[in-house]
Amino acid sequence: MLTKQQLNQLYQYSYSLTLNSDDAYDLLQTGLEKYLKKSSQNIQREMAYIRQIIRNQFIDNQRRSNIIAFETIENNDTLAIDTLSLDDLMIAQDQVTIIWDIMNTSEREIIYLWAVEGYSAKQISDETGVSRGTILSKIHRLREKVIAKFTKLDAAGANL
Amino acid sequence: MKNIFKDAMQKHINKIELSSNQLQKLQALQKNNVKTNHKNRIPLFVMVASISLVLIITLLTTQINPLQNRLVAQIADEVAKNHLKLKPLEIRSEQITDVQNYFDKLDFLPISSLQFKQRNQVSLAGGRYCSIKGSTAAQLRYQQKDGKFVTLFQTNYSDMFWGLPDIEKDPNPITTYARGVEITIWIEKGLVMVTAKSND
């Protein structure tokens, strides 16, 4: 049986995908039901397995609503040097929500896996089934996006 | 004051938590599933074994009985024919040891069957070689008080006689009729025994 902490971690992951607490709960519940049906099988890396179910369920839901859940990125985009390129960023805690809200689904997923699960780009690639090159492209774009937003926020702060 | 981006994001995400109501529902969902699984989950090997058992029983009842019936009918017909021909005896003696000594070309020793003695008030007249379904057999002829003959055929048990009742496990021999002759078949001490008796 999953512990309270594990359920909360999965909820956080679901929330990272949906950015809505009700949708996140529905997604988690559906994912958990699917997992429990299969739980008689010998499943290794249980949490990663459930996240995979949740991810697939989320993509299915988005498809039904004709929404593209994870936009593709060409591999010839500029690549980041692993997740290290995010490590040197500094942020004021009150800016976090703003940054979180401007991220798209795949960026939030990467941030969750990197910040909460402590994954490297390679591990994120393994879990999501997205190539490492694409993950590095996304990280690079995210860094650029975050810096651009910081610049705007800092400029706005200075003008006040 | 600025924080490291990673730490700030982690702190932000960790604030996202299920409500106690949502948590209870998810925990209940897991508990119910555990109960249901304990109730309903049948190990795969048990299911396979059960299905196999049903198939075997079905096969035994639908396939083996007809096979056994055919075997019994074939033996009965062959033995009845031999019994009716009443071919001349090759050894004449009332002593089973004399008759046993005569059958030195058999790969088994003809016996004095207890089952046969219990069922028939007879005295040994002699014997001759014969065969049952191509298997060399001893034909022992006995005479009843009324002068009628009863023939006891004995041959070594082999796989072709599989399914016939072994008297040690099943005290009821198979009784049937062929060519108007009463035929009784059983297995005793590793030998196939068949008696042929004309009742009229």
The alpha carbon of residue A70 is apart from the nearest alpha carbon of chain B, in Å, by: 20
Same domain? For A56 and A96 the reply is no
Helices and strands: H and E segment counts in chain A: 8, 1
Same domain? For A89 and A155 the reply is yes
Q: Going along B54-199, which residue ranges are E strands?
A: 91-92, 122-132, 135-144, 149-156, 174-178, 181-188, 191-197
Inside any domain, residue A43: yes
Cβ neighbours of A40 in B, within 8 Å: 37, 41
Cβ distance A12 to B22 less than 8 Å, yes or no, reads: no
Q: Phi/psi zone of residue B179: left (φ > 0), alpha (ψ -120 to 50 degrees), beta?
A: left
Provide the domain limits for residue A155.
Answer: 84-159
Same domain? For A99 and A139 the reply is yes
- Per-residue pLDDT tens over the stretch A57-68: 999 888 887 776
Query: Which residues fall within 8 angstroms of residue B173, CB to CB, at 6 or more apart?
Result: B115, B165, B167, B184, B185, B186, B193
The alpha carbon of residue A7 is apart from the nearest alpha carbon of chain B, in Å, by: 8
Return the bridge partners of B156, or none: B191
pLDDT at residue number A72? 55
Same domain? For A119 and A59 the reply is no
Inside any domain, residue A97: yes
From residue A101, alpha-carbon distances to A95, A109, B184 in Å are 10, 13, 94
Same domain? For A48 and A89 the reply is no
Q: Which residue of A lies nearest to B31 if distances are taken between CA atoms?
A: A1
Inside any domain, residue A118: yes
pLDDT at residue number B41? 59
CATH number, domain at A98?
Answer: 1.10.10.10
- Per-residue pLDDT tens over the stretch B82-93: 999 888 999 999
The alpha carbon of residue B175 is apart from the nearest alpha carbon of chain A, in Å, by: 55
Inside any domain, residue A88: yes
Res. A76: pLDDT tops 60: no
Closest residue to A40, CB basis, from B18, B26, B41 = B41
Entry pTM? 0.53
- Per-residue pLDDT tens over the stretch A117-136: 999 989 999 998 888 888 88
Same domain? For A60 and A102 the reply is no
Res. A158: pLDDT tops 70: no
Type of residue at B117: K
Same domain? For A145 and A90 the reply is yes
pLDDT at residue number B63? 63
What mean pLDDT is predicted for residues B8-16? 91
For A30, the 3-state DSSP assignment is helix
Query: From CA B6, how far away is CA B10, in angstroms rounded?
Result: 6
- Sign of the Cα pseudo-torsion (B45, B47, B52, B54, in order): positive
For B193, the 3-state DSSP assignment is strand
Same domain? For A59 and A92 the reply is no
Average pLDDT, chain B: 87
Count structural domains, chain A.
Answer: 2
Res. A156: pLDDT tops 70: yes
Inside any domain, residue A123: yes
Q: Which residue of A lies nearest to B21 if distances are taken between CA atoms?
A: A25
DSSP state letter for B169: T
Query: From CA A63, how far away is CA A67, in angstroms rounded?
Result: 6
Same domain? For A147 and A88 the reply is yes
What mean pLDDT is predicted for residues B155-162? 91
Cβ distance A32 to B30 less than 8 Å, yes or no, reads: yes
pLDDT band at B78 (very low <50, low <70, confident <90, very high): very high
For B49, the 3-state DSSP assignment is helix
- Sign of the Cα pseudo-torsion (B116, B117, B121, B127, in order): positive
Residue A148, burial from CB neighbour count under 10 angstroms (0-12, 13-18, 19+): exposed
Same domain? For A93 and A142 the reply is yes
Residue with tokens 């699960």: A117
- What is the predicted ipTM? 0.86
Q: Report yes or no: B11 at the A interface, CB cutoff 8 Å.
A: yes
CATH number (2.60.120, 2.60.40, 3.40.1000, 3.40.50) of B45-197 reads 3.40.1000
Assess contact for B127 and B89: CB atoms under 8 A.
yes
Query: From CA B16, how far away is CA B192, in angstroms rounded?
Result: 83
Res. A23: pLDDT tops 70: yes
Type of residue at B147: G
- Per-residue pLDDT tens over the stretch A79-121: 565 666 777 788 888 888 888 888 989 899 999 999 899 999 8
Same domain? For A93 and A146 the reply is yes
Same domain? For A91 and A153 the reply is yes
Interface test with A, best of B12, B15, B32, B42 (most A CBs within 10 A): B12
Dig out the tokens for B21 from the structure.
Answer: 């109501």
From residue A117, alpha-carbon distances to A13, A50, A70, A121, B19 in Å are 10, 14, 20, 12, 22
Ranges of each domain in chain B: 5-41, 45-197
Average pLDDT, chain A: 84
Query: Which residues fall within 8 angstroms of residue B24, CB to CB, at 6 or more apart?
Result: none
Who has greater pLDDT, B155 or B39?
B155
